[in-house]
Amino acid sequence: MYAYVPRRLACTGVTLVGLSLVIFVLLRMVPGDIVSQMVDLQAQADPRQLEELRRFFGLDQPWHVQYISWLAGVVTGNLGQSWRLGGPVLNHILDGMSVTLELAFLATLFAAVVGIPFGVWAAVRQNRLEDGVLRIASLAGLSVPVFWQGSMLILLFSLYLRWTPPMRWISPLDDLANNLVLMALPVVTLGTASAAVVVRMTRNALLEVLRQDYIRTAHSKGLAGRAVLLSHALRNALIPVITVTGLQMGYLLGGAVVVEEVFTLPGVGRMLLQGLTQRDYPLVQGAVLFVAILFMLINLVTDLVYALLDPRIRYS
């Protein structure tokens, strides 16, 4: 275990270097830059003014020089200055990350709380009406587009029923109750597809475990069905479920872009989308790299949780 973590972190560092290069190159393949965004190209722009602007933003240098300069700053913890918002990129990311992390965490919690019990119920009621209904519902949850679901929930609960307050951000540190009410619709929107995945994974994993010999042995010893299900079957079935749930939280960090835009939440996802539209290269590069680091750390923690659920698993 102690040797596994440093080795895994070293591999993560190499992956991040490659990812930073991909981010840098792909971002500059998008047509236009911040200079073309700032200057009206339909007017008679002074070429010297355009050249001066490109020099000010460092866009006159070769791309590999720009990349090395940016990467050197990243290594020292300096993600650069935002061209549009002003100020250090890291400060903007940290301000928005609290919103995005809360959204992703609550959506993951929603997926687990809803998905695991319904998955267990579907496995216990295999090939019955309840199982069929849950399988159809999970397929529908995977098929509904996030932006459409979010828009419909806003129309229903905010405009028609008026059950939810206007979408004005309230920090949980200021008012936890109103914050949770505000986050209810975004969490359901973002977590629906993940809950559907968890339902299907829990059902399949539990059915596989219930066919094992040691489960039949536990029943033959006279143990109660509920005890066998919860103490023996479910604990072993949770290992692939934990894998899926951990990966889902990482994916939800990326999926938060659409949800934050629909519900106007001031998170990193919405900031990233606006930075991409405005060609704010330092902001987009820093935000994507920061989310990637969180995604990899979540995967590492998920792997380490395996050993707590199954003592047979050892990392060397």
Residues 6+ apart with CB under 8 A from 36: 279
Inside any domain, residue 201: yes
| 131 vs 215: which has the higher pLDDT | 131
In a domain, 104, yes or no: yes
Tell me the pLDDT tens digit for each residue of 75-117.
888 888 888 888 888 888 888 888 988 998 899 899 989 988 8
Residue 73 in any domain: the answer is no
Q: How confident is residue 11, by pLDDT bands cut at 50, 70 and 90?
A: confident
Average pLDDT over residues 176-204: 88
Does residue 186 carry a pLDDT above 80? yes
| pLDDT at residue 188, as a whole number | 92
Domain that holds residue 239: 89-309
| Domain-embedded: residue 276 | yes
Q: Is residue 94 part of a domain?
A: yes
Please indicate, yes or no, if residue 71 is contained in any of the structural domains: no
Q: Which CATH number is 277's domain given?
A: 1.10.3720.10
CA–CA dist 229, 225 (Å, integer): 6
Token pair 């935000």: residue: 287
Task: Classify residue 52: in a domain, yes or no.
Answer: no
Decide: 132 and 141 in contact? Cβ < 8 Å: no
Q: Indicate left, alpha or beta for 135 from its phi (over 0: left) and psi (-120 to 50: alpha).
A: alpha
Domain count, the chain: 1
Taking the CA of residue 66 as centre, how many other CA atoms within 13 Å lie in the half-sphere pointing to its CB?
19
Residue 62 within any structural domain of the chain: no
What per-residue confidence (pLDDT) applies to 110?
92
Question: The whole model's pTM is what?
Answer: 0.79
Q: How confident is the model at residue 294 (pLDDT cuts 50, 70, 90)?
A: confident
Average pLDDT of the segment spanning 201-229: 73
